[in-house]
Amino acid sequence: MKIGFIGLGRMGRGIAQRLLDAGHDLVVHNRTVEKAAAICRAGAGYAATVALLCADREVVITMLADDAALNAVVSGGLLQSLPKGAIHLAMGTHGVDTLRALERAHAEAGQTLVAAPVIGRPDVAAAGQLLIVAAGPKAAMERCIPLYQAIGRRTVETGSAPESAAAVKLANNFVLGCAIEVMGEAFSLVEKYGVAPALMHEVLASGIFAAPAYKVYGQIIADEAYDQVGITALLGLKDANLVMAAADAARVPLPSANAWRDRLLGAIAHGDGDRDWAVVALEQARASGLR
């Protein structure tokens, strides 16, 4: 397929490489041109503008950090230049209201929006083992199957409305973020009693919490490896705000979200915004008088 790809950040680079390796005709664009160098050396084309990238593409994928970046790309050439009948496959984590508005705009332009946010860290993306949460019109979803197969290990379809995929991805990030925050509390508690963090991680990873979320993030917390970034604390705060906005719109109370968001805010206030979002555990340690 003729694929355009916008957004070569930590996740985007791995996803784009998987598409190229699967034999798709890939053209990329990134605000920072240097980030496109490696994949262009591997065989991808480069478009200097969003409009040039969209010109003859069947599907344009965006993997962008937030709603502001997505809206800038859409208004900066994607909506005007994407051919009629083409698909915009939005793979970043975005707000429900943003996707609702974007779905309407694409429909008016004769295009189709499919939302397919992904679950997994950058190493998982590079290995093609992402979990994809996808939603959109049936015909467009079927056209995207070869792309899903190149990118992920499994695709979960949540319906025909793109906003449903956003709701599931945000809910997943909410659960994961709260799990990390609670682990931070637990690690601080046992450390106060002289227990090494590595021992607490061993208990979690060997018992009923022997799941990737607790194994991976528990190890990061035990090692204080917050500079091995999968998702930054700043992006975590973005997700927390999107979760709370979605909950407000649907009148769903999420009391745990406030504790998670407050720890993220504290970590960012202490200068840790660009570190992995598990740094909320360090913020908890500070609040506990341990750091």
The angle formed by the CA atoms of residues 247, 253 and 255, to the nearest 5 degrees, is 115
Rg (CA), the chain: 20
Rounded (10°) angle between helices 162-192 and 212-223: 50
Q: Could you confirm whether 169 is annotated as catalytic?
A: yes
Contact 277, 231 (CB under 8 A): yes
Of 84, 169, 192, 238, the active-site residue reads 169
Q: How far is CA 23 from the centre of its chain?
A: 24
- In this structure, is the dihedral angle defined by the CA atoms of residues 285, 188, 218 and 195, taken in order, positive or negative? positive
Q: Which amino acid is at 273?
A: G
Rounded (10°) angle between helices 233-250 and 96-108: 80
**Positions marked catalytic:** 169
